[in-house]
Amino acid sequence: MSDPLATPLPPAAPLPATPSVRRRLATMLYEGVILFGVVFIAGYLFSTLTQQRNGLTHHNIMAAWIGFVVGLYFVWFWTHSGQTLPMKTWRLRVVAADGSPLSAPRAVLRYLLAWLWFLPPLALHPLLGLSLPHTLMIATVWFVLWAATGRLGASRQFLHDRLAGTRIVVAAMPSA
């Protein structure tokens, strides 16, 4: 029996629409252009501050530094507005699976899981001693298969988003 004095809960707002795979991939391409500048500046700072005179000196530390800077870039934008510049351009937003803003730990988890787009096939190169054309072929097939995960399931989210408990949704048009 229900309580007559209880106020009814407002209906839950439906989650915004899921963008197409093509739109999400276009955003990733634009993100790569922006990341070129971020990586360039991070590499320049590292080289300048460490007095690096040779590209092979401290290259592992530099790779870790660039990975940290790129992670900081994504986590900061995802936790503050839910959008990087390319995501704003394509009107996309990353949210938690329930539609709430991302917490920092969930944003870090999403960043780490997003590396699954690239690292598994690239790890095969040194492990199996593959030639560069074979590595690129495997990486391309892997990328296409990973992108296909965006068409699977009711949520139509990429696998790393499902694993991280996040969603990419269409952002509302800014009010004039």
Whether residue 108 is contained in a domain is answered as: yes
Whether residue 30 is contained in a domain is answered as: yes
Residue 68's domain spans which residues?
Answer: 21-170
Whether residue 26 is contained in a domain is answered as: yes
Q: Return all residues near 12 (Cβ < 8 A) that are at least 6 apart.
A: none
How far is the C-alpha of 135 from the C-alpha of 129, rounded, in Å? Answer: 9
Q: Token pair of 46, please?
A: 């590292």
Per-residue pLDDT of the chain (176 residues; tens, 9 = 90+): 555 555 554 555 566 788 888 999 999 999 999 999 999 999 999 999 888 887 777 888 999 999 999 999 999 999 999 999 999 999 999 999 988 999 999 999 999 999 988 888 888 888 888 888 888 898 899 888 888 888 887 788 888 999 999 999 998 876 65
154 exposure class (CB count in 10 Å sphere: 0-12, 13-18, 19+): exposed
Tally of structural domains, the chain? 1
Whether residue 58 is contained in a domain is answered as: yes
Residues facing residue 168 across a β-bridge: 94
Whether residue 120 is contained in a domain is answered as: yes
